[in-house]
Structure 1
Amino acid sequence: MNDVAVVIPARYRSSRYPAKPLAPLVGATGVAKPLIQRSWECARAVVDADAIWVATDDERIADAVRSFGGQVVMTSEDCANGTERCADALDRLGTMPEILVNLQGDAPLTPAHVVTALVDALRRDDAVAMTTPALRCARSTYAHLVADQAQGRVGGTTVVFGADHRALYFSKRVIPHLPPAAAQAEFPPVHLHLGVYAYRPEALRRYMALGISQLEELEGLEQLRFLAGGVPVGVVPFDPIAWDAIELNNPTDVAPIEAILKSRGIA
């Protein structure tokens, strides 16, 4: 993976959870670490530390990253989303890895093998602009998504894709709709989209050239810009893993994430 770099986009302002990258998460040893550090440690399981950059426009986040020895690239305040921030970071760094991985800063439970599989899939398929994971939901994950939806919260993003593993749509709603019998299955046929992408540098340039799409604005999902522009997105499906890969989207997600960190022995 020497030709792979990881960028973790992080912003301070968030309508659902302001200052989220600095939110403390307590692990198995009882030590609290900010979310951005746990995301950095997640990336560290895949590539060397000198290939990881936190991209932010906020000095508070930058100071937190430097305090645990991470690298920072300061990006524009005008970046509309994490993909734009990755494109901006790539321009500012001046480096041109074969593949750039965007590990969202709110997905500290992303398994390392998922990132590796995305990179491998992108190398095999020149036709897609990027690859991204779809994790088959366990019943507990599905229940978490549905409960958040019922309360008017966004608990995660779901994705549907075709037999060719090309994305059809991403949504902050739980898709597809399930009849009661399917919803009660041990593994309901719903795929959770994990917040990680693998791109080639030219895909980021193409993304910036497309401009913001209506679907992207309505759903608040950056990856929909590719689909709205007719650019194929490769989906790499995974069977359920041994833990719920919950993203930190709301303050109510802190407790279940901490419980998973402790159960997995993550310091």
Structure 2
Amino acid sequence: MSRDTLIVIPARYASQRYPGKPLAELRGSTGKAKSLIERSWEAAKRVPSGDRVVVASDSDEILEAARAFGAEAIFTSSECRNGTERCAALLGALDEEPEIVVNLQGDAPLIPEYFVESLIDAMRADPSVEVATPVVRCTRALYDKLVADEKKNIVGGTFGAISSAGNAHYFSKRIIPHFDASKADDDNLPVLLHIGLYAYRPAALRKYVAGEPSQLEQLEGLEQLRFLDLDVPIRTIEVKSPEWEIWELNNPSDIPHIEASLEIMGLE
């Protein structure tokens, strides 16, 4: 088996909330504008253990834009319903199968490279891990804000309930687990925010696409729940929050927040 790590950037043009967002321009610390897909590719290229980076899309416009700035870009079917399915589809277009496939979503250019490295390290240290994903411990201030938002029916993140061994019991858009916040340790709240970044074994991706979307996956709108429904364990890796906010580009109003984080990161 190859020891290579492939980083895939799944990107589609026909986003319901923000069509064409991979081509939206973001300005960095010097005021230079680059597309979201280019900034996501640059984030992937900064990962030390990433042996190969591929943009996977069903859009000729995105593929052409990616190739123009030097990325390897491969067509994947428009029938792919999420990034995990697109990563699985890409496997069939490769000459050699990698050991690990990383899904670095194309709308999250602010993911630190150490998040990705932590997943790769965990999978190389334990060959039994089929899927890995990072979580960040919630601060008291953020928890209070999220609770207030939830009371207004505002969804502010994805949360994981994790076993003592580090495997996910469940993920939800609602805050889990339930606990008496007045008795909790502010420095060690039992609330873990899930970051939408994944590492998989190729065999796990094949299991995923062999199964149908589960009811919970569709109700929550969380693609990773299909793995749990198929009894594929997900190992969670707790990572430290970076100095900048990790914003995903879901709406045009997110652009100023992302640009502010690019400024903190010192990226041109």
Distance between the aligned counterparts of 1:43 and 1:175, measured in 2? 30
Cα distance change, pair 89–49 in 1 and its aligned pair in 2 (3 A): same
Structure 1 gaps of 5+ residues are none
Residue type at the aligned position of 1:3:
D
Taking structure 2 as the reference length, what is the TM-score of the superposition? 0.89
Distance between the aligned counterparts of 2:190 and 2:226, measured in 1? 25
Residue of structure 2 in register with 1:121 after alignment: 122
Residue of structure 1 in register with 2:86 after alignment: 85
Q: Residue 163 of structure 1: CA displacement?
A: 0.9
Q: Residue 161 of structure 1: CA displacement?
A: 0.8
Structure 2 gaps of 5+ residues are none
Cα distance change, pair 212–28 in 1 and its aligned pair in 2 (3 A): same
Residue of structure 2 in register with 1:191 after alignment: 192
Distance between the aligned counterparts of 1:60 and 1:146, measured in 2? 41
Distance between the aligned counterparts of 2:32 and 2:246, measured in 1? 21
Distance between the aligned counterparts of 2:141 and 2:243, measured in 1? 11
Distance between the aligned counterparts of 1:14 and 1:147, measured in 2? 29
Which segment is superposed worse, 87-96 or 139-148? 139-148
Cα distance change, pair 165–77 in 1 and its aligned pair in 2 (3 A): same
Task: Say what the alpha-carbon RMSD is for the aligned residues.
Answer: 2.6
Residue of structure 2 in register with 1:106 after alignment: 107
1:59-78 equivalence runs, <5 A: 59-78=60-79
Contact 2:7 2:50 in 1 (8 A): no
Cα distance change, pair 136–49 in 1 and its aligned pair in 2 (3 A): closer
Residue of structure 2 in register with 1:170 after alignment: 171
Contact 2:4 2:51 in 1 (8 A): no
Residue type at the aligned position of 1:55:
A
Contact 2:244 2:264 in 1 (8 A): no
Cα distance change, pair 235–101 in 1 and its aligned pair in 2 (3 A): same
Which segment is superposed worse, 127-136 or 80-89? 127-136
Summarize deviations over 1:136-174 as a string: whole Å, max 9, x none. Answer: 234565567567656655443222211110011112233
Taking structure 1 as the reference length, what is the TM-score of the superposition? 0.89
Summarize deviations over 1:84-110 as a string: whole Å, max 9, x none. Answer: 100111111232011111111111111
Q: Residue 187 of structure 1: CA displacement?
A: 6.8
Contact 1:246 1:253 in 2 (8 A): yes
Which segment is superposed worse, 8-17 or 187-196? 187-196
Which segment is superposed worse, 180-189 or 104-113? 180-189
- Identity percentage over the alignment? 51
Distance between the aligned counterparts of 1:201 and 1:130, measured in 2? 10
Residue of structure 2 in register with 1:204 after alignment: 205
Which segment is superposed worse, 73-82 or 9-18? 9-18
Residue type at the aligned position of 1:15:
Q
